[in-house]
Amino acid sequence: MDQNRARECGILPIARDDAALEHFESFHKSGRPLCGRLKQAQLEFLFGDQAPAVGSAALVPIGRDAHQGMLAIGSSEANRFHPGMGTLFLSHLGELISAVLEPHLPRTSG
């Protein structure tokens, strides 16, 4: 996918050592979807100039401990995504995306 198309689709490639990922440390450690209101730094990183319009969000880890990335879904409604909501569908969505991406990612020795 070319860079223009990736930008239109909201794809933001991030290096694993990017300092901005520190804002998501607890999310990565949990390995589970997160729903609710995000911190301002998280909103700005994920949604850029659209951050002020995001009232709540769902973060979905892609791959174990989000090692392949994360899916961020924002809503203008403050209570659309909240900590008490079920996340089974979001977990399955993350697993599906991970399975689709896996053959296209570089192999790492580990």
- Residue 56 CA to residue 102 CA, distance in Å, equals 29
- Supply the pLDDT for residue 106: 74
Task: Give the tens place of pLDDT for each residue, 49-86.
Answer: 999 999 999 999 998 878 888 999 999 999 999 999 99
Domains of the chain: 3-101 (3.30.450.40)
DSSP secondary structure string, the chain? --HHHHHHTT-----TT-GGGGGGHHHHHH-S-EEEPPPHHHHHHHHGGGGGG-SEEEEEEESGGGTTEEEEEEESSTTSS-TTS--HHHHHHHHHHHHHHGGGSPP---
Quick one: average pLDDT of 38-52?
92
